[in-house]
A and B are shown apart, each in its own frame.
Chain A
Amino acid sequence: MVVRPKSAVRRPSAGFGPVPAAVGIGLKPAHYRALLRDRPPLDFLELHIENYMCAGGPPHRYLAELAEIYPLSFHGVGLSLGGADPLSHGHLARWRQLVDRYKPALVSEHVAWSSHAGHTLHDLLPIPYTEESLSILCAHVEQMQNVLGRQVLIENPSRYLEFNDSTMAEVEFLVEVTARTGCRLLLDLNNVFVSTCNQCEDAGIYLSGISGHLVEQIHLAGHSINSFETGQIRIDDHGHNVSDPVWQLYSDTVARIGPRPTLIEWDTDVPALEVLLAEVERAREIAAAALADVSTRSSRNAHAP
């Protein structure tokens, strides 16, 4: 049975008007002290759970203190849900232990694989979108949900290549996983942009295939561009500001489906906390503007003769 988390991340509505989006940042050791000292107005902190799979030490000391102030989101990068090999029982047990200890508001993993035959590649690798992949991924998502006793979110990957054997589009594949397992989506808009650009597809068409009720969280991050003789590939490096086209996708998405807990991700060359807080403010402003625009348009339509 899948149990929903008791408290999802939601910002209380300030006065009248639309409910603003809850916005958080990825938790980095470089920011532990500043977060505890300054307690900036963040709605949640997200962490890569594998970095906390240790017996003790400063990461847990700081995390325990921060958990008193902020809701947490646990994001996994190592379960290899899309891997043909069975999931690691040991890794699932470590997941369960940390979820029991910290009771995060959100829990997510990736539509990707990273391990094979005992080797771990520490990268999120793409799977072909076939019936075979679908049944393997669904079995793994169900296993994860059963071990954790709750619904999990799965994140759409950033892709630099596509397989000839794929028999369905990514969106079709993701929607089918939610239907079969009851999981929901973590919609990474930077990944949508990167993947659709790399595959010469249209991000707007991609997003229109996903109903709002399937999306429980949004990720925003920066990327870079690698140029080759015969073309360009966008690389999801999490090392830059969110790009303008991705902000536009965010505005469009919030206007279409409403606000969702939104994460600013920055994992490479992590900048000062102020830089992340500025991105958080920008996300709030863009979401608020998108929602205000929707509400103006709907009231104008309501009053139209």
Chain B
Amino acid sequence: MLTLPDLQRSITDFLLSSPGTRADPVLCAAIREQGVPAATLLAIYKNNVYTQLVGALRDSYPAVHRLTGEEFFRFAATEYMHAYRPRSPMLLGYGKNFPGFLKGFDPASSVPYLPDVARLEQLYLESYHAAEAIPLPKAAFPPYLSESFTQPDLRLHPSARLMASPYPVSRIWEVNVQSSAIEGKQRIPGGAEYLLIVRPRATVEVRRISRGAHAVLTAIARGFSVPEALATGIESEPEVDLVTHLLSLAEGETFTREGEYQ
């Protein structure tokens, strides 16, 4: 007779094992057979676990799924499942290491932008589920531009995520999450992209921003004042009017103030 911990350990090992692994004979002997063999009954549960986890990844990474196709996606998802065994009772965060996994996944190396598309989808999900905060009204932003204004309470909205990619990643993503399927290969214009992903209200927005604005927002996220952050941005992109960019980002409810988290 197996104790409950031993039984559960044995079932866990089998359910998370590679496809084709045989169940432990001691475990099979613990199961009452009524026509259908114990190994087949255990395989039903194994298939349930696999279906749940692959389904969770597919829901989180629709563009990666579309780009790779069902068969390759399943293959990658199975390999991911063995590299990152699920450890949380919430499925929401199960795929958070998938972009990093894809980066080192040799069979996907022929699609060099795939990890960046996955990264964008991961940031989209983070933004979707992030805490709420009251966005800073546009009119309240200009004082923060002044060096004499010393209130250190400006923050990016808690749903804001920043991303830089050498590929036109947001355009690739857009094409692959649109419901009207575009068949066949197509040319995606553009090169490197700097992105702000933010959800000040109910909908996540993926905004393409300039390299300088990306540098400014990154500096603000790290706790620099707006004038300090602007200096970093101008170094990064001297030819652009970053103040106008920042005002337009403020209008787009990118910022909040400390203490206005809900």
Contacts and interface: CB of A to CB of B under 8 A. Distances in A.
Contacts of B8: 83-85, 113, 116, 125
B178 to A, nearest CB: 18
Contacts of B90: 50-51, 53-54, 78
A85 B44 CA distance: 24
A208 interface: no
A122 B49 contact: yes
A64 B15 CA distance: 37
Interface residues of B, number: 51
A91 B31 contact: no
Interface string B74-90: 00000000000111111
A128 B92 contact: no
Interface stretch (B32-40, B148-156, B189-197, B228-236): B32-40
Contacts of B128: 57-58
Among B5, B7, B16, B31, the most chain A Cβ lie within 10 Å of the Cβ of: B7
A61 B202 contact: yes
Contacts of A107: none
Contacts of A230: 35-37
Chain A: interface residue count, which band?
35 or more
B9 interface: yes
A13 B199 CA distance: 44
A118 interface: yes
A58 B91 CA distance: 17
Contacts of A77: 89
A84 B38 contact: no
Contacts of A127: 4
A132 interface: yes
B85 A119 contact: yes
A16 interface: no
Contact of A53 (B9, B87, B92): B92
25 contacts: A50-B92, A54-B90, A55-B129, A55-B158, A56-B130, A57-B130, A59-B129, A61-B202, A78-B90, A83-B8, A85-B8, A116-B12, A119-B87, A123-B48, A125-B45, A128-B4, A132-B3, A161-B32, A161-B38, A163-B30, A164-B32, A165-B2, A200-B34, A231-B36, A233-B41
